[in-house]
Amino acid sequence: MAVTPPVLSLSPVPETPAKYLRDMAKRVEALPEEHSGGSYQYSKTWGWWLNTAGDVPGGVANAAVPTVTESWVDRQGGGRKLSTYGDPIFPDPEQEREAREAGLVSGKKIGDAEYGPGQFPGGSPWQEIEPFAQNPDELSRQLETVSWEGGLIISGVSDLLTYASRSGPIAPGLRAAALRVLADAPGLRVSTTTTWKGSKVVAVTQ
Protein backbone atom coordinates (compact mmCIF):
# COMPACT_ATOMS: atom_id res chain seq x y z
CA MET A 1 0.00 0.00 0.00
CA ALA A 2 1.46 3.38 -1.01
CA VAL A 3 1.23 6.24 1.47
CA THR A 4 2.22 9.87 1.81
CA PRO A 5 3.77 11.02 5.10
CA PRO A 6 1.00 12.66 7.14
CA VAL A 7 3.11 15.77 7.80
CA LEU A 8 2.71 16.95 4.18
CA SER A 9 0.05 19.67 3.93
CA LEU A 10 -0.69 21.62 0.72
CA SER A 11 -1.72 25.29 0.78
CA PRO A 12 -3.16 26.48 -2.57
CA VAL A 13 -1.55 29.65 -3.91
CA PRO A 14 -3.81 32.75 -3.75
CA GLU A 15 -3.66 33.48 -7.50
CA THR A 16 -4.60 31.18 -10.36
CA PRO A 17 -2.13 28.36 -11.12
CA ALA A 18 -1.48 29.81 -14.58
CA LYS A 19 -0.57 33.27 -13.25
CA TYR A 20 1.61 31.83 -10.48
CA LEU A 21 3.57 29.64 -12.91
CA ARG A 22 3.99 32.43 -15.50
CA ASP A 23 5.26 34.82 -12.83
CA MET A 24 7.70 32.16 -11.67
CA ALA A 25 8.84 31.63 -15.27
CA LYS A 26 9.72 35.33 -15.56
CA ARG A 27 11.87 35.14 -12.44
CA VAL A 28 13.55 31.91 -13.54
CA GLU A 29 14.52 33.09 -17.04
CA ALA A 30 16.22 36.15 -15.51
CA LEU A 31 18.58 33.94 -13.50
CA PRO A 32 22.21 33.62 -14.61
CA GLU A 33 23.45 30.47 -16.30
CA GLU A 34 24.88 27.87 -13.93
CA HIS A 35 28.00 25.87 -14.62
CA SER A 36 28.41 22.19 -13.97
CA GLY A 37 30.24 21.31 -10.77
CA GLY A 38 30.84 17.66 -11.58
CA SER A 39 30.61 14.81 -14.05
CA TYR A 40 27.32 13.29 -12.90
CA GLN A 41 23.66 14.21 -12.55
CA TYR A 42 22.65 13.23 -9.01
CA SER A 43 19.10 12.69 -7.80
CA LYS A 44 17.53 11.39 -4.61
CA THR A 45 13.89 10.31 -4.35
CA TRP A 46 11.66 8.85 -1.64
CA GLY A 47 8.85 6.36 -2.27
CA TRP A 48 6.63 5.77 0.75
CA TRP A 49 4.98 2.46 1.67
CA LEU A 50 2.88 1.46 4.65
CA ASN A 51 4.13 -1.76 6.28
CA THR A 52 1.68 -3.53 8.60
CA ALA A 53 1.98 -6.36 11.13
CA GLY A 54 -1.22 -7.86 12.54
CA ASP A 55 0.19 -10.20 15.18
CA VAL A 56 1.49 -7.74 17.78
CA PRO A 57 0.20 -7.17 21.34
CA GLY A 58 -1.72 -4.03 20.38
CA GLY A 59 -3.47 -5.80 17.50
CA VAL A 60 -1.91 -4.04 14.49
CA ALA A 61 1.33 -2.06 14.13
CA ASN A 62 2.11 0.26 11.21
CA ALA A 63 5.22 1.98 9.92
CA ALA A 64 5.51 4.25 6.87
CA VAL A 65 8.90 3.27 5.48
CA PRO A 66 10.46 5.12 2.54
CA THR A 67 12.45 3.52 -0.22
CA VAL A 68 15.30 5.99 -0.80
CA THR A 69 16.73 5.84 -4.32
CA GLU A 70 19.94 7.65 -5.25
CA SER A 71 21.12 7.90 -8.86
CA TRP A 72 24.36 9.04 -10.45
CA VAL A 73 24.15 9.39 -14.24
CA ASP A 74 26.94 10.58 -16.54
CA ARG A 75 26.61 12.34 -19.89
CA GLN A 76 26.99 9.05 -21.76
CA GLY A 77 23.91 7.59 -20.08
CA GLY A 78 25.78 5.28 -17.71
CA GLY A 79 25.91 5.35 -13.93
CA ARG A 80 24.71 3.81 -10.70
CA LYS A 81 21.38 3.41 -8.90
CA LEU A 82 21.30 2.62 -5.16
CA SER A 83 18.12 1.88 -3.17
CA THR A 84 17.87 1.54 0.61
CA TYR A 85 15.19 1.76 3.30
CA GLY A 86 15.10 5.21 4.91
CA ASP A 87 14.01 6.56 8.29
CA PRO A 88 10.40 5.53 9.04
CA ILE A 89 7.41 7.51 10.23
CA PHE A 90 5.07 5.83 12.71
CA PRO A 91 1.36 6.77 12.36
CA ASP A 92 1.01 5.81 16.02
CA PRO A 93 4.27 6.72 17.85
CA GLU A 94 3.33 4.40 20.72
CA GLN A 95 3.58 1.45 18.32
CA GLU A 96 7.21 2.12 17.37
CA ARG A 97 8.64 -0.61 19.58
CA GLU A 98 6.11 -3.20 18.34
CA ALA A 99 6.71 -2.18 14.72
CA ARG A 100 10.47 -2.56 15.04
CA GLU A 101 10.18 -5.90 16.83
CA ALA A 102 7.88 -7.13 14.05
CA GLY A 103 10.59 -6.36 11.49
CA LEU A 104 8.68 -3.56 9.76
CA VAL A 105 11.73 -1.30 9.79
CA SER A 106 15.01 -2.17 8.14
CA GLY A 107 17.99 -0.08 7.10
CA LYS A 108 19.31 -2.66 4.68
CA LYS A 109 20.22 -2.10 1.06
CA ILE A 110 17.46 -3.02 -1.42
CA GLY A 111 19.35 -2.78 -4.67
CA ASP A 112 22.63 -1.50 -6.08
CA ALA A 113 23.24 -1.57 -9.83
CA GLU A 114 25.79 -0.05 -12.18
CA TYR A 115 25.12 0.68 -15.87
CA GLY A 116 27.40 1.13 -18.84
CA PRO A 117 27.14 3.95 -21.43
CA GLY A 118 23.58 4.33 -22.71
CA GLN A 119 22.25 1.61 -20.38
CA PHE A 120 20.87 3.66 -17.48
CA PRO A 121 17.08 3.07 -17.20
CA GLY A 122 14.89 5.78 -18.66
CA GLY A 123 15.71 8.79 -20.77
CA SER A 124 16.01 7.07 -24.15
CA PRO A 125 12.88 8.66 -25.70
CA TRP A 126 14.28 12.11 -24.99
CA GLN A 127 17.49 11.35 -26.85
CA GLU A 128 15.47 11.33 -30.05
CA ILE A 129 14.17 14.90 -29.70
CA GLU A 130 16.93 16.91 -28.01
CA PRO A 131 18.10 19.66 -28.05
CA PHE A 132 15.04 20.90 -26.20
CA ALA A 133 13.32 24.09 -27.30
CA GLN A 134 13.20 27.13 -25.03
CA ASN A 135 10.03 28.35 -26.74
CA PRO A 136 7.04 26.95 -24.81
CA ASP A 137 4.98 26.18 -27.94
CA GLU A 138 7.84 24.24 -29.52
CA LEU A 139 8.67 22.53 -26.22
CA SER A 140 5.03 21.48 -25.88
CA ARG A 141 5.17 19.86 -29.33
CA GLN A 142 8.35 18.03 -28.34
CA LEU A 143 6.66 16.76 -25.18
CA GLU A 144 3.75 15.39 -27.21
CA THR A 145 6.07 13.01 -29.07
CA VAL A 146 6.83 11.05 -25.87
CA SER A 147 4.39 8.93 -23.83
CA TRP A 148 4.21 10.18 -20.23
CA GLU A 149 3.42 8.19 -17.13
CA GLY A 150 -0.38 8.10 -16.85
CA GLY A 151 -0.66 10.66 -19.65
CA LEU A 152 0.00 13.47 -17.17
CA ILE A 153 1.78 16.60 -18.41
CA ILE A 154 3.47 17.05 -15.03
CA SER A 155 5.07 13.61 -15.46
CA GLY A 156 6.29 14.51 -18.94
CA VAL A 157 7.82 17.81 -17.84
CA SER A 158 9.45 16.23 -14.80
CA ASP A 159 10.94 13.39 -16.86
CA LEU A 160 12.23 15.78 -19.54
CA LEU A 161 13.93 18.05 -17.02
CA THR A 162 15.43 15.08 -15.18
CA TYR A 163 16.92 13.83 -18.45
CA ALA A 164 18.16 17.33 -19.40
CA SER A 165 19.94 17.65 -16.05
CA ARG A 166 22.23 14.75 -16.95
CA SER A 167 24.23 17.16 -19.10
CA GLY A 168 24.63 19.68 -16.27
CA PRO A 169 22.54 22.50 -14.79
CA ILE A 170 19.36 23.14 -16.78
CA ALA A 171 19.39 26.43 -18.69
CA PRO A 172 17.07 29.08 -17.18
CA GLY A 173 15.39 29.44 -20.59
CA LEU A 174 14.41 25.77 -20.66
CA ARG A 175 13.19 25.84 -17.07
CA ALA A 176 11.08 28.92 -17.84
CA ALA A 177 9.66 27.29 -20.98
CA ALA A 178 8.69 24.21 -18.97
CA LEU A 179 6.87 26.39 -16.42
CA ARG A 180 4.95 28.12 -19.23
CA VAL A 181 3.97 24.74 -20.70
CA LEU A 182 2.55 23.81 -17.30
CA ALA A 183 0.80 27.19 -17.04
CA ASP A 184 -1.07 26.46 -20.28
CA ALA A 185 -2.15 22.97 -19.18
CA PRO A 186 -5.73 22.61 -17.86
CA GLY A 187 -6.59 21.08 -14.53
CA LEU A 188 -3.36 21.79 -12.66
CA ARG A 189 -3.21 22.79 -9.00
CA VAL A 190 -0.33 24.78 -7.52
CA SER A 191 0.34 24.83 -3.79
CA THR A 192 3.08 25.65 -1.34
CA THR A 193 4.13 23.20 1.32
CA THR A 194 6.87 22.19 3.73
CA THR A 195 8.33 18.72 3.29
CA TRP A 196 9.00 16.32 6.16
CA LYS A 197 12.64 17.44 5.77
CA GLY A 198 11.68 21.06 6.50
CA SER A 199 12.18 22.41 2.96
CA LYS A 200 9.82 25.07 1.57
CA VAL A 201 8.66 23.94 -1.88
CA VAL A 202 6.06 24.54 -4.59
CA ALA A 203 3.92 21.52 -5.47
CA VAL A 204 2.26 21.17 -8.89
CA THR A 205 -0.39 18.44 -8.97
CA GLN A 206 -2.77 17.15 -11.62
46 is in which domain, residue-wise? 40-119
Do 60 and 133 lie in a common domain? no
| End position of a domain, from candidates 66, 85, 119 | 119
Do 195 and 167 lie in a common domain? yes
Do 130 and 29 lie in a common domain? yes
Mention every residue, 6+ apart, whose C-beta is less than 8 A from residue 95: 56, 58, 61, 62, 63
Do 25 and 102 lie in a common domain? no
| End position of a domain, from candidates 119, 134, 155 | 119
Do 204 and 127 lie in a common domain? yes
Least confident of 6-10, 80-84, 111-115: 6-10
pLDDT at 155: 87
Distance CA(124)–CA(118), nearest Å, equals 8
Do 109 and 130 lie in a common domain? no
For the residues 125-133, what does the mean pLDDT come to? 86
Do 8 and 69 lie in a common domain? no
pLDDT at 2 over 50: no
Do 73 and 95 lie in a common domain? yes
pLDDT at 96 over 90: no
Do 133 and 190 lie in a common domain? yes
Do 66 and 126 lie in a common domain? no
Do 114 and 129 lie in a common domain? no
Band (pLDDT 50/70/90 cuts) for residue 58 is: low
Q: pLDDT tens digits for 137-192?
A: 999 999 988 877 667 888 889 888 888 887 778 899 999 999 999 999 988 999 98
pTM equals 0.67
**Residue % of the chain over a pLDDT of 70:** 82
Distance CA(12)–CA(203), nearest Å, equals 9
| End position of a domain, from candidates 74, 96, 119 | 119
The total number of structural domains in the chain stands at: 2
Do 149 and 183 lie in a common domain? yes
Q: How many Cα atoms within 13 Å fall on the side-chain side of residue 123?
A: 20
